[in-house]
Amino acid sequence: MAESVLAFLRDQPVIALFLTIGFGCLLARVRVVGVELGAVAGTLLVSLFLGSQGFRISPAAQAVGFALFIFSVGYQAGPRFIEALKANGWRYLALSVVVCAIGLITALIAGSLLAMPPGGTAGLLSGSLTTTPMLAAAQEAVRSGIATLPAGSDSDRVIATIGTTYAITYIVGMLGIIVAVRLMPRIAGVDLPTAAAAMDGGSRTQPVQIQARGYRVTNDELCRQSATELARRFWDGFSIAHLRRSQQWLPITPEERLQHGDEIYVVGDATLFQRGISQLGEEISVASDVELSADARQVIVTQGSAVSRPLGNLNLARGHGILVTGLRRDALSLPLSPEVVLQRGDVLTVVGSNRALAALPALVGPLEAEAMETDMTTFAFGIAFGTAIGLLAITVAGTPIGLGTAGGLLASGVLVGWLNNLRPSTGKFPEAARWILMEFGLLIFICGVGLQSGSQVVETLREAGPWLVVAALAVVSIPVLCGYLFGRHVLKLPPVLLMGALTGAMTSGPALSLLIAEAKSSAPALGYTGTYAFSSIIMTIIGTLVMAF
């Protein structure tokens, strides 16, 4: 019965491909040391098993997945790369370079000591650092002929070796990063929850629960204080306040002083009303004039007047009656604070009256509902252009030198993303569309890697023995340790941001999830987004270089 099912699936590659991805995503929910495996690890394990049974997917299908993934990585990471360089991102760039460089050196030494076959070092490095773009770039360097292979080496065999070594060391690397995230703060004597709480200060890290309350002013002592002084005592930086005096709505100026009998209506997070605002006077029913739109909306930060400015400087609450309830960057939720500096492409969740929301495109950027269309023309030509320039190469001393397909697609993605930053109407690629194409392309590519490597995993383990696992542990632990020391003593990064930055430098989403849980705060995500863009680009380049020289 089982053999009949396998025979049927071998004849139905489309069904086999999507079943592999489906079961891989189910396996992704399995927890190891308290952290979910993730879709990449799950799909890799399922495809390795099926690969040992003789399953394969079309090289064309894997190539399409590869192109979707690398182009999307460039589109997402490139603008962040440029914006960070223009701002104060040099520390995150330096940390990314140190982590990647030390990982490369460690892998080269380990590969030499173990006398690994051609492609083994690239697989060891990409797997231990859990960076799939590096794997993709290394394999494509072999396919395109950029890689320098020893005489007599078979390119298909080298590609399979890269994939097999990656598959074995990926699991070791993922677990190694997770263990490092748990142990490093303890070894350094850092209490992550306490450090995160101190760093958060007035930041909001929990889901917002919007409430509206009204007060009739009866506290004469508070009437002697200006609106600015009252804001220092009670305001959280985001909530909206309305003043009604003698049935007339009045603007609240910085020097405004309340009068006995004034009515104050406040809309904001439930935590605001625990800050003592009830001292104003007796609570009253909320006036019908104080209304907000029924649903939250998302606005994408694109306007130059909002980019690189602290969120509080936009004056959305006081000046425009808009309540900000959330902030996402690269699909990660960040702590909400008036001091957080906005970056192009950030997504704000806002609540306000329809009239107030209509003013947002000019202040901040387009509402997400207005930016849902994907510019398929630019998207398609961008991938074609990236693939074409990746084929170009010049020959120096008999060695072809060029970007390679991975480098070409990455550069094209960076260019299109940058153009979208300059002109939001060009190259529109909404967050949800970008995520599904990048994730889907990644899983197709990983599926191909696993199926191709499945038949060689046992043989590779038998030849390398436990030393391959030891080497993977060295490649993942030494960069993390050196990166932590460099970040603390040279860059002077706070521990919470540094730990998040290290997970970003290793492009490890599962490790970030664990870190956020350990810190009981989303503050580490600020560090993660700081290094992720740099490392994604650097590691893709390294993937090509490690095979070319």
CATH code where residue 339 lies:
3.30.70
The answer to whether residue 110 sits within a structural domain is: no
Q: SS3 for 197-226, per residue?
A: HHHHCCCECCCCCEEEEEEEECCHHHHCCE
Residues 303 and 255 in one domain: no
Are 527 and 499 within 8 A, CB to CB?
A: yes
CA angle 140, 14, 24 (to 5 degrees): 75
Q: What is the pLDDT of residue 54?
A: 80
Residues 262 and 330 in one domain: no
Q: What is the pLDDT of residue 371?
A: 55
Amino acid at 218: T
What domain range includes position 367?
297-307+321-371
And the tokens for 534? 């740099």
Strands annotated E in 345-504: 347-352, 394-396, 399-401
Q: What is the pLDDT of residue 397?
A: 55
The answer to whether residue 58 sits within a structural domain is: no
Q: What is the pLDDT of residue 402?
A: 61
The answer to whether residue 223 sits within a structural domain is: yes
- R_g of the chain, CA atoms, integer Å: 27
Residue-wise pLDDT for 104-134, tens only, equals 999 999 999 988 888 889 999 999 998 888 8
State how many domains the chain has: 2
Residue of 129, 136, 130 whose CA lies nearest to 159: 136
Residues 303 and 250 in one domain: no
Strand order in the sheet with 322-329: 297-300, 347-352, 322-329, 332-333
pTM confidence score? 0.76
Place of tokens 């209490």: 191
Contacts of 212 (CB under 8 A, 6+ apart): 265, 266, 267, 286, 290, 292
Residue 252's CATH number: 3.30.70.1450
| Maximum Cα–Cα distance across the chain | 92
Residues 278 and 332 in one domain: no
Residues 280 and 327 in one domain: no
Q: What is the pLDDT of residue 443?
A: 92
Residues 219 and 267 in one domain: yes
Residue ranges of the chain with per-residue pLDDT less than 70: 1-2, 33-34, 78-88, 199-208, 289-295, 368-372, 393-402, 425, 549
Q: What is the pLDDT of residue 122?
A: 92
Residues 269 and 301 in one domain: no
CA distance 137 to 135: 5
Percent of the chain with pLDDT over 90: 14
Residues 244 and 217 in one domain: yes
Amino acid at 202: G
Q: What is the pLDDT of residue 330?
A: 73
Give just the sign of the alpha carbon dihedral 38, 39, 44, 50.
Answer: positive
β-pair type (347-352, 322-329): antiparallel
The answer to whether residue 181 sits within a structural domain is: no
Residue-wise pLDDT for 169-196, tens only, equals 998 888 888 888 888 888 888 888 888 7
**Residue 285, CB-side half-sphere exposure with 13 Å CA sphere:** 3
Residues 222 and 274 in one domain: yes
The answer to whether residue 533 sits within a structural domain is: no
